[in-house]
Amino acid sequence: MPEPILNRIRIILFDSRTLVRAGFRLILERFPQLQVVGETGRLPEAVELIRRIQPNIVLFDCESNDLLDLDAIPQLIAAYPKARLIFVTGSSHLELHQRAIELGALGIVHQAQPVDVLIKAIEMVDRGEVWLEQNHRGERVGQNDQS
């Protein structure tokens, strides 16, 4: 019998698409250091799950490429400030990525990335590091240096 992993990264999935959440769950459950502890497609339920379960990581996506959809980020953080948010998105728009970071997300992962990139992002963000898409890292760092 395998030994239990003591310090698993506890993850909540927040995406309005049931099949997307199921896909993430199947992928993440292949990695023994990761544990999906909850999932939902609605903001009020996400806030309650985060408050009750107190995960390490929240993987989330917006319903569109609309900056207003990102306004949920502060609510997610307020539910449990120690939870770290990773925005998994199909958008390549720098403005959307920057806004997510400004609102408190610690990671941005494009949906076209391979699974190993998502896993690395989860592990790094869990350690408190920021994960940005490779093509935006220089731009983002450059902007931080100017402020």
Q: What is the pLDDT of residue 71?
A: 85
The encoded tokens of residue 29 equal: 């459950």
Does 115 map to a domain? Answer: yes
Q: What is the pLDDT of residue 143?
A: 43
Q: What is the pLDDT of residue 44?
A: 92
Does 109 map to a domain? Answer: yes
Does 2 map to a domain? Answer: no
Mean pLDDT of all residues in 123-132:
95
CATH number of residue 23's parent domain: 3.40.50.2300
Mean pLDDT of all residues in 127-138:
76
Does 52 map to a domain? Answer: yes
Does 3 map to a domain? Answer: no
The domain of 16 spans 9-146
Write the pLDDT tens digit of every residue in 66-116.
445 788 899 999 999 999 999 999 888 888 899 999 999 999 999 999 999
Write the pLDDT tens digit of every residue in 39-61.
999 999 999 999 999 999 999 98
Q: What is the pLDDT of residue 144?
A: 41
**Phi (first) and psi of residue 71, to 5 degrees:** -60, -10
Q: Which long-range contacts (CB under 8 A, 24 or more apart) does 23-31 make?
A: 24/59, 24/88, 27/115, 27/118, 31/119
Give the count of domains, the chain.
1
